[in-house]
Amino acid sequence: MKNKTIVVKGKILHFNQPLVMGILNITPDSFFPESRKLTESSIRARTEEILSQGALILDIGAYSSRPDAKDVSPQDEINRLTFALSIIRKHFPQAIVSIDTFRASVARHCVENFHADIINDISGGEIDPLMFETVASLHIPYVLMHMRGTPKTMQQLTSYHNVTDEVIRYLATRMHQLHLLGLSDIIIDPGFGFAKTLQQNYELLSKLSEFSIFQRPLLVGISRKSMLSKLLNIDTSQCLNGTTVLNTFALLHGADILRVHDVRQAVEAIRILEMLRSTSTYIPARS
């Protein structure tokens, strides 16, 4: 299989082994309360924690995507990100920064004013029709995720004949549209928890290896999500162990990027599996 790469900061980033993307939420209503950072000191401390524990990418979100989240205006989203990025670029200028937004205007602001490195769009370019042409014009890597509807409507849009096949077909179609615009630095995200039932999330994860057909970096974001808390009947705060189990399964079946709240544990899972791969014939080497 062709080696999967993207270009970040003018350099080729290889996925010879999986990488970690650490979550920094600058929202007051993200589903995991401990991830919410709203002050200068907490943003700086959280960024330092994410990077020092081994994450290569910092993913910053200013608009909660949980189903009952309040709407945030484009200007409020920009204001929140401007505040956080000013701090991060001052103290961590070389950090690889991903912006979690579905708005083209927000993406452009963060790239042009703060040199954001990646745009992570939960809507796959569906909510803002200008997103695809914007990221293409900015020549920046783009996380293409599957979702139906919006965060407020997605859980009413979970009817699939075959969830894995339909997600793959959707991503293939959207990838083709991006390629026509000249964008090839695309990261694929199946969108766990977005417009999928509990059963569908696990079915999709069980067939994760099928996404290797794209030969593109594969991002998995299952950290502390309801597919764990609902299955185990526990609170989000108790989902670290379950997250590590699912992350390990994802790593064994092709995940290249783990998007997580708990960086150290994800980095440790990667290191352990890479050691096992180097010493065992039972775990196939990464392609």
pTM: 0.94
Query: What pLDDT is recorded for position 36?
Result: 67
Q: Does residue 216 have an active-site annotation? A: no
Residue 26 lies in a domain: yes
Catalytic residue chosen out of the listed positions 196, 259, 271, 277: 259
Average pLDDT over residues 195-223: 97
Higher pLDDT, 37 or 55: 55
DSSP string, 187-222: EEE--TTSS--HHHHHHHHHTGGGGGGG-S-BEE--
Residue 285 within a domain: no
Nearest to 21 by CA among 192, 201, 143, 151: 143
- The shares of helix, strand and coil residues in the chain, as percent rounded to the nearest 5, are 45, 15, 40
Structural domain tally of the chain?
1
Residue 115 in domain: yes
Q: What is the pLDDT confidence band of residue 65, given thresholds at 50, 70 and 90? A: confident
Contact 98, 60 (CB under 8 A): yes
CATH classification at residue 149: 3.20.20.20
Residue 176 domain-assigned?
yes
- Is 169 an annotated catalytic residue? no
Question: Cα–Cα distance between 91 and 185 in angstroms, integer?
Answer: 27
- Whole-angstrom distance, CA of residue 141 vs CA of residue 185: 5
CB atoms within 10 A of CB 157: 14
What are 285's two structure tokens?
A: 């080497």
Q: Give the whole-angstrom CA distance, residue 258 versus residue 248.
A: 10
CA 99 to chain centre: 10
Query: What angle (nearest 5°) sits at the alpha carbon of residue 262, between those of residues 282 and 276?
Result: 15
pLDDT at 70: 73
Contact status, residue 224 vs residue 240, Cβ threshold 8 Å: yes
Structural domain including 13 reads 5-279
In a domain, 286, yes or no: no
Percent of the chain with pLDDT over 70: 95
Tell me what pLDDT residue 1 has.
44
With beta carbons less than 8 A apart as the criterion, state whether 252 and 212 touch: no
Contact 63, 101 (CB under 8 A): yes
Q: pLDDT tens digits for 74-88?
A: 999 999 999 999 999
In a domain, 138, yes or no: yes
**265 within domain boundaries:** yes
- Decide if 287 is inside a domain: no
State the catalytic residue, choosing from 4, 148, 196, 225. Answer: 225
Mean pLDDT of 52-66: 92
